[in-house]
Structure 1
Amino acid sequence: MQEERKLAQIGKYNIKAISNIVGILPGTLRAWERRYNIISPVRNDAGHRLYTEEHVYILKWLVQKVNEGFTIGQAINLYEAKEHKSSNDQSLSENLQSDALVNRIVSSLLTFEENEAHNYVNEAFSLFSVDKVLFKIISKVFILIGDKCRNGEITSAHEHFATSFLRTRLGMVYQNLPNNKHLPKLVAVCGPDEKHELGLLIFTIYLRRIGFQVIYLGASIDSNDVEQVISEVNPAGFIMSCTSKDNLKKTIDLAITIKKIKSDIIIGIGGHAVSTCDSPIMDSIQEFYIGNGQSNWDEWLKQNFNYK
């Protein structure tokens, strides 16, 4: 093992070769070295930079995170968190690791330990891809907090603190994603009188990561403004989230109204109130129902937008 480590630290690639291997420009690589000191290339007798296999691994990891939407500074912070993760976690399987992080994040949030929660989320991003963090960790944290709130196990203060924290972390991911024109344009907004937007934000991040243009409006807007939004944006789809059962009928009514305004628009509805509604209601809105989780989402996108 020590011999392999020594071999990985032998300089063998010049800056042109390393740039081609990891896919970044030499000037960018030099800037990263100067600003962040994340790697220190060795020098040959002529004074030229030489990069090791270890450097290749580090740079590829950083480039992957940058391509997922992180800034290089954020990616380096995640890498450093990854390098300092506990030896106990290294022996856990991926599922055990993610479940352990879910429990730690929830525990931190419910004791108002914000810095501790940030550290655990950073560790999650250092270990897993953005999609896995969204679906295996943040989504589960969101569901657990919501369940505890509905069951009266935590106060509204705990729920507001946790929601604010998760919204901030999701917003960091969202703001670093490109809004390209590869796939159709969609509008995403909470249903009437809905304030819980985390589930919608997770779905929006997923849509943007796979190429959809998404106009994210967040918490509910005045129903009278919807027609103007549709007129100005001319979206191919209109996505709504509904968490409270008290707002489900209003959300369904708005979906029907939108269809009358723009008959060819694709309507999508999701959220806790939708997924847990009675069978007769579900039967009446089946055409709108997005489903829960990535596999359901992909199926809905395939049926409505020929995605994948």
Structure 2
Amino acid sequence: MSDQEGKYNIKAAALMLGIQPGTLRAWERRYQMIAPVRNEAGHRLYTDEHIKILKWLIKKVNQGFTISQAISLMGHNPSQMDTDAINLKTLNPLASQIDSLYDALIHFEHHKINEVMNTMFSIFTMEKVIIDIFSQVFLKIEDSFKNGYIISAQRNFSSRHLSARINTVIHSLPNDIHLNKALCITSSKDGEAINLLLFSYFLRKQGIDVINIGTYHSEEDIKKVMEMIHPDILIISCEDSKDLYEALTLTNLLSLNYQDLAIGLCGHAISTMNSAEKEQFSTYILGQTKKDWEMWLLERLEY
């Protein structure tokens, strides 16, 4: 039986770790640092890999760290980890796992890509992999391309492969005809609207139906779609600064014509606007983190 197979129920895991099962459940729910598989009866099953991670975290807590500090240390300060407690690659998915996936993508290694992704999903929740890990891989790909370390073929393959995986997850989530609706569009003519894709996943996890129509061609097209689906939310993505004026003009127009519509802006061009533009459009800017997204959504929708 491999380290990736579920072996221990929560009582056995808690006994091995010396903590209460309720504490373990609370950590998983709040911090999502692991995602144990469940058997046919719905009971958690922990792998040897999970136990190693949890032992390391508990050791740090016993040394005086809070659990949140220990998890942050695990993800962002690999130099401080105890190598005898856990293998560095296993412990640090937000660094070495990102590197492994990045390397597999830019070398077009389908088998390795699937292997690394499966490892990620076996340790962490789907949400953590997509929002925390995949987003960092996307950033690394873009930075490498801009700095000339990879060519456009590597960038395109990598971005499309990750986008396809996220879209598959989004479409696998259950639908409800009573959900709020979000219309997502992009002004990007080239490349993948990664920020929009990540936010689309976030919205679906919040129980919001997402309709992504991709690049829009005219204001008239948008108006017709609005009349067809009557969305509660409209998200406009702008990745390239040359498309920024068009995106902001559309935002102003729609905000005047649809006063009950929650409009959000995301994308590289939005995050790099000058201070005056950011102040003018601050109401619409989604932000960069999950906490930013949660606050933006909370202020605009009533559940």
* TM-score, length-scaled by structure 2: 0.70
Aligned-partner residue type, residue 274 of structure 1: I
Q: Quote the offset at 1:63 in angstroms.
A: 7.9
Deviations for 1:119-176, whole angstroms, at most 9, x for unmatched residues?
Answer: 1111111110011101221010011111222233221111111011111211221120
Equivalent residues in 2 for 1:138-287 (5 A)? 138-181=134-177, 183-191=179-187, 193=189, 195-287=191-283
The answer to whether the aligner puts 1:112 opposite 2:108 as a matched pair is yes
Deviations for 1:58-84, whole angstroms, at most 9, x for unmatched residues?
Answer: 40697889xxxxxxxxxxxxx99x89x
SS at match of 1:205: helix
Gaps of 5+ in 2: 1-6, 10-35, 53-82
Indicate the larger mover: 145-154 or 207-216: 145-154
Equivalent residue number for residue 101 of structure 1: 97
Q: Are the counterparts in 1 of residues 38 and 44 from structure 2 also a CA contact under 8 Å?
A: no
Equivalent residue number for residue 289 of structure 1: 285
SS at match of 1:305: coil
The change in CA–CA distance for 1:224 and 1:121 in structure 2 (over 3 A counts) is: same
Equivalent residue number for residue 295 of structure 2: 299
CA distance in 2, matches of 1:57, 1:171: 22
Number of residues of Structure 1 aligned to a counterpart in Structure 2: 241
CA distance in 1, matches of 2:44, 2:136: 24
Q: Quote the offset at 1:91 in angstroms.
A: 3.9
SS at match of 1:264: coil
Equivalent residue number for residue 19 of structure 2: none
SS at match of 1:145: helix
CA distance in 1, matches of 2:41, 2:239: 37
* TM-score, length-scaled by structure 1: 0.69
Q: Structure 1 stretches (4+) deviating beyond 6 angstroms?
A: 60-65
Instruction: State which structure, 1 or 2, has the greater radius of gyration over its C-alpha atoms.
Output: 1
RMSD of Structure 2 on Structure 1 (CA): 3.4
CA distance in 1, matches of 2:247, 2:181: 21
Q: Are the counterparts in 2 of residues 184 and 235 from structure 1 also a CA contact under 8 Å?
A: yes
The answer to whether the aligner puts 1:59 opposite 2:49 as a matched pair is no
Q: Are the counterparts in 1 of residues 121 and 129 from structure 2 also a CA contact under 8 Å?
A: yes
The change in CA–CA distance for 1:89 and 1:201 in structure 2 (over 3 A counts) is: farther
Q: Quote the offset at 1:258 in angstroms.
A: 1.7
Deviations for 1:8-27, whole angstroms, at most 9, x for unmatched residues?
Answer: 79xxxxxxxxxxxxxxxxxx
The change in CA–CA distance for 1:177 and 1:279 in structure 2 (over 3 A counts) is: same
Equivalent residues in 2 for 1:15-34 (5 A)? none
The change in CA–CA distance for 1:262 and 1:64 in structure 2 (over 3 A counts) is: farther
Q: Quote the offset at 1:88 in angstroms.
A: 9.2
Deviations for 1:71-107, whole angstroms, at most 9, x for unmatched residues?
Answer: xxxxxxxx99x89x9x999544986123211110111
Aligned-partner residue type, residue 301 of structure 1: L
Q: Are the counterparts in 2 of residues 186 and 235 from structure 1 also a CA contact under 8 Å?
A: yes
